[in-house]
């Protein structure tokens, strides 16, 4: 019996302990749920605060951007006004000219028993028509088209409007004829100012005009001196699709067809240049053979020159010494053996021909000095060999 009671007490104690544990767990769960809700509320409040701050910053940034844009526009307008004062005054003068012109035309048409609404429309037609054609011409010019016909139309309509205003001025202010001229000019002055602004200030510069003039002179000279080549160039351009071959390329191609050489050169020019080189070479040959005599003659002439301070002496011209005018010291005559015999020179002729070919390959003239250096012989012998080499080469060419 006592055992049953003890077991019963133990069961009740366990039940009470389990109830206490259940209540504790339930309380902890409740506390966790409340903490989670509080944390969620805190996060929501923090997110809302951050969103409000971001919206406030974005609004402030937008306001700052608008202020900056407005300031930039004002600064741009101020800069434009500073850099384009002429445009501002042109606009003012044009308005001051157009408004009186329209009012004068309305008065003229109304005075001619035309109803006021119709008079206003007709006046707007004249002045507005002139400006409509003006702006059409500007648009055509910007697109690269010829604006001449638009300018003619503008001035024609403006002239009609000026005539109407002039007639009205004579009728209304007969005692002051100058007013009629002013009213007539009011229809023309604005057009004239616009024409100066768009065409005068944006016209070609002095350098561009000079370049155009030089280009026209060049083309005229080309047609004058090379008419056949110019004609051939035109034919080449006509044979190909438009724009494929420009003027310079066509002329260069025509030149090559007619002359076989690059532009500016021809067979005649090559022949002239070759002949000049040969003549220069002959002059060098002559000068090389009589160099001592030429120098001696030059020094004698320098001693007899009455104006030595105005001219250079032969020494300074030839680069062989100072310009004191003193002749070079006489060279001591060589006392060695005389020149080689004809047999020895004939034996050296093959070597001399080879040496001459080497000189030509090096771009030099066949001279006695060059042969003497190549063959290591006396200059007197080299002079004879040079003459024989030149004769041999002439015979070979012939």
**Does pLDDT of 393 surpass 50?**
yes
Considering only residues 327 and 256, tell me which one the structure prediction assigns the higher pLDDT.
Answer: 256
- For position 255, what pLDDT does the model report? 92
In the block, which residue shows the tokens 């390959």?
361
Considering only residues 230 and 14, tell me which one the structure prediction assigns the higher pLDDT.
Answer: 230
As a whole number of angstroms, the distance between CA 19 and CA 13 comes to: 10
**DSSP label of 339:** P
Considering only residues 102 and 374, tell me which one the structure prediction assigns the higher pLDDT.
Answer: 374
Considering only residues 387 and 200, tell me which one the structure prediction assigns the higher pLDDT.
Answer: 387
By the 8 A CB rule, do 165 and 105 touch? yes
pLDDT single digits (tens) 155-171: 888 888 888 878 877 77
**Does pLDDT of 151 surpass 60?**
yes
Provide the 3-class DSSP secondary structure of residue 304.
Answer: coil
Name the residue ranges covered by the structural domains of the chain. 85-200, 226-264, 266-325, 340-398
Chain mean pLDDT for the chain:
76
Candidate ranges 29-38, 127-136, 361-370; pick with highest mean pLDDT: 29-38
62 conformational bin, left if phi > 0, alpha if psi -120 to 50, beta if neither: alpha
**What length is written for the chain?**
398
As a whole number of angstroms, the distance between CA 274 and CA 23 comes to: 126
Mean pLDDT across the stretch 60-72? 88
Give the pLDDT band of residue 154 (cuts 50, 70, 90): confident
Provide the 3-class DSSP secondary structure of residue 396.
Answer: helix
- For position 326, what pLDDT does the model report? 42
**Does pLDDT of 385 surpass 80?**
yes
Mean pLDDT across the stretch 331-344? 58
- The distance from CA 260 to its chain's CA centroid, rounded to whole angstroms, is 33
Here the tokens at position 340 are: 């080689």
As a whole number of angstroms, the distance between CA 345 and CA 381 comes to: 7
By the 8 A CB rule, do 251 and 229 touch? yes
Give the pLDDT band of residue 113 (cuts 50, 70, 90): low
By the 8 A CB rule, do 315 and 322 touch? yes
Here the tokens at position 89 are: 């005054």
Here the tokens at position 91 are: 């606009």
Q: Calculate the alpha carbon distances from 319 to 289, 293, 301, 312 in Å.
A: 18, 17, 17, 11
């Amino acid at each position: 019996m006592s055992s049953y009671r003890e077991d019963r007490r133990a069961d009740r104690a366990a039940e009470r302990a389990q109830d206490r544990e259940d209540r504790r767990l339930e309380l902890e769960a409740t506390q966790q749920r409340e903490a989670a809700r509080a944390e969620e509320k805190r996060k929501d409040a923090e997110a809302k605060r951050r969103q409000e701050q971001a919206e406030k910053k974005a609004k402030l940034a937008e306001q700052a951007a608008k202020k900056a844009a407005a300031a930039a526009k004002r600064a741009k307008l101020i800069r434009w006004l500073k850099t384009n004062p002429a445009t501002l005054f042109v606009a003012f003068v044009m308005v001051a000219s157009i408004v009186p012109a329209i009012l004068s035309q309305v008065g003229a048409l109304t005075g001619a028993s035309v109803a006021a609404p119709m008079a206003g429309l007709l006046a707007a037609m004249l002045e507005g028509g002139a400006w409509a054609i003006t702006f059409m011409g500007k648009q055509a010019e910007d697109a690269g088209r010829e604006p001449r016909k638009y300018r003619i139309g503008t001035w024609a309509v403006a002239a009609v409007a000026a005539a109407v205003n002039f007639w009205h001025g004579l009728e209304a202010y007969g005692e002051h004829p100058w007013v009629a001229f002013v009213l007539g000019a009011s229809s023309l002055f604005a057009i004239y100012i616009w024409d100066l602004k768009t065409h005068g200030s944006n016209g070609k510069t002095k350098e561009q005009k000079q370049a155009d003039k030089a280009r026209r002179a060049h083309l005229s000279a080309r047609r004058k001196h090379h008419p056949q080549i110019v004609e051939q160039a035109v034919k080449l351009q006509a044979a190909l699709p438009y724009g494929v071959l420009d003027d310079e390329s066509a002329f260069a191609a025509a030149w090559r067809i007619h002359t076989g050489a690059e532009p500016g050169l021809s067979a005649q020019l090559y022949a002239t240049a070759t002949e000049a080189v040969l003549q220069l070479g002959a002059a060098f040959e002559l000068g090389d053979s009589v160099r001592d005599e030429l120098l001696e003659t030059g020094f004698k002439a320098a001693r007899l020159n009455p104006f030595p301070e105005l001219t250079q002496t032969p020494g300074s011209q030839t680069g062989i010494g100072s310009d004191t005018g003193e002749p070079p010291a006489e060279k001591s005559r060589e006392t060695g053996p005389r020149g080689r015999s004809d047999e020895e020179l004939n034996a050296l002729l093959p070597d001399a021909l080879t040496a001459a070919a080497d000189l030509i390959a090096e771009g030099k003239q066949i001279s006695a000095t060059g042969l003497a250096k190549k063959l290591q012989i006396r200059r007197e012998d080299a002079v004879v060999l040079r003459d024989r080499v030149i004769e041999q080469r002439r015979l070979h060419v012939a």
